[in-house]
Amino acid sequence: MAWNYGFTYRGRHCSEFGLKLIGYRVNAPDIREYEDEVGGVDGVIDYGTELGKREIEVRVDVISTDEPLAQRQSRIMAWLTPKQDAGALIFDEFPEWRYFAKYSGRLTLDQIGRYGEFTITFKCTDPFAYGPERIQEMTITSSPFTIHAPSDGAVPTPPVFELTNVGTTTLAYVRLTNEFRVD
């Protein structure tokens, strides 16, 4: 069976398990605020904020088939097992974005006969979505040389540079400067 709307987790599409995506919610990441209260002073001293984990809630239909629902639920749990490291979670709606998530919570099945519905909660310890990797290969023949490595993401992301000297001359000095444009 193939549906146009679903998700892939750990390289397997939900339709392989007879699941159809009803909807999903990508929650904002938890926030960790570092602050201190000082007696006799109004307000707090703010030491900064960091992002914590992110939860993604996925609601699915269990499509009726000849396979007993309890048996299919066992196969689904084996696919989602939280004992493995986080896996790539990709929604068909945005195939270029991937979250690294693992199953968290309880798989509670609302069952009527052979039909069922349930919510899967995923935990992303890394709260960011990742797009496709971009690889630029070039030969640097002059100095100075500027490389533009744009990021389409919403968060400034430092690029990774790998420099390989394929010539016979020893490089005595290399300077990398990373600039972010703030809108």
Range among 64-73, 80-89, 104-113 rated most confident: 80-89
Inside any domain, residue 154: no
Contact 79, 12 (CB under 8 A): yes
Inside any domain, residue 95: yes
Predicted local confidence at residue 178, as pLDDT? 67
Higher pLDDT, residue 145 or 28: 28
Candidate from 1-5, 57-61, 62-66 with smallest mean pLDDT: 1-5
Number of structural domains in the chain: 1
Q: Express each pLDDT in 159-178 by its tens digit.
A: 777 777 777 777 777 777 76
Is a pLDDT exceeding 50 seen at residue 12? yes
Q: How many CB atoms lie within 10 A of CB 153?
A: 12
Inside any domain, residue 14: yes
Q: Quote the domain boundaries for residue 55.
A: 7-124
- For the question of whether the overall pTM of this predicted structure is more than 0.75, the answer is yes
Is a pLDDT exceeding 70 seen at residue 61? yes
Percent of the chain exceeding pLDDT 90 equals 53
Q: Give the pLDDT mean for 153-163.
A: 74
Higher pLDDT, residue 162 or 103: 103
**CATH number for the domain that contains residue 45:** 2.40.30.200
How large is the C-alpha radius of gyration of the chain? 23
When the pLDDT of each residue in the chain is averaged and rounded to a whole number, the result is: 85
Contact 35, 47 (CB under 8 A): yes
Is a pLDDT exceeding 50 seen at residue 75? yes
Contact 44, 88 (CB under 8 A): no
Inside any domain, residue 104: yes
* Cα 83 to Cα 102: distance, rounded to the nearest angstrom: 9
Inside any domain, residue 41: yes
CB burial string 39-58: b at 16+ within 10 A, e below? eeeeeeeeeeeeeeebbbeb
Inside any domain, residue 136: no
Higher pLDDT, residue 111 or 48: 48
pLDDT band at 150 (very low <50, low <70, confident <90, very high): confident
Inside any domain, residue 49: yes
Inside any domain, residue 47: yes
Q: Which is it for strands 115-124 and 99-103: parallel, antiparallel or unpaired?
A: antiparallel
* Cα 72 to Cα 62: distance, rounded to the nearest angstrom: 9
